[in-house]
Amino acid sequence: MGAGTGIPSKRGESIIQSMKTTLSIVGILLFLAGLVFFLQGINILPGSYMTGDPQWAINGGIMMVVGVGMFFFARRNGR
């Protein structure tokens, strides 16, 4: 807020936009990592100790849901 006027300052808007961008990027990266874990867990993407282990498919699915949630939370309008 700018000096008690009730109007957001440019610096405050800039910080909020930076936080939204950072949260969006983290959400995308979390989704992609979750996708890799999921594909390894269901035995589609070989080459790791996670391959074929259903626990990694569950972990990856949870990571993907959280990543999508973070992305849309960051992109929503309003405060």
pLDDT digits (tens, 9 = 90+) for 7-64: 667 887 888 899 999 999 999 999 999 999 999 999 998 888 888 899 999 999 999 9
Tokens of 70: 């973070």
Q: Is residue 67 part of a domain?
A: yes
Q: Is residue 4 part of a domain?
A: no
Total domains, the chain? 1
Q: Is residue 70 part of a domain?
A: yes
Tokens of 76: 């929503």
Exposure of 6 by Cβ count < 10 A (0-12 exposed, 13-18 middle, 19+ buried)? Answer: exposed
Q: Is residue 60 part of a domain?
A: yes
Q: How confident is the model at residue 3 (pLDDT cuts 50, 70, 90)?
A: low
Tell me the whole-structure pTM to 2 decimals: 0.80
The residue segments making up the domain with residue 53 are: 23-75
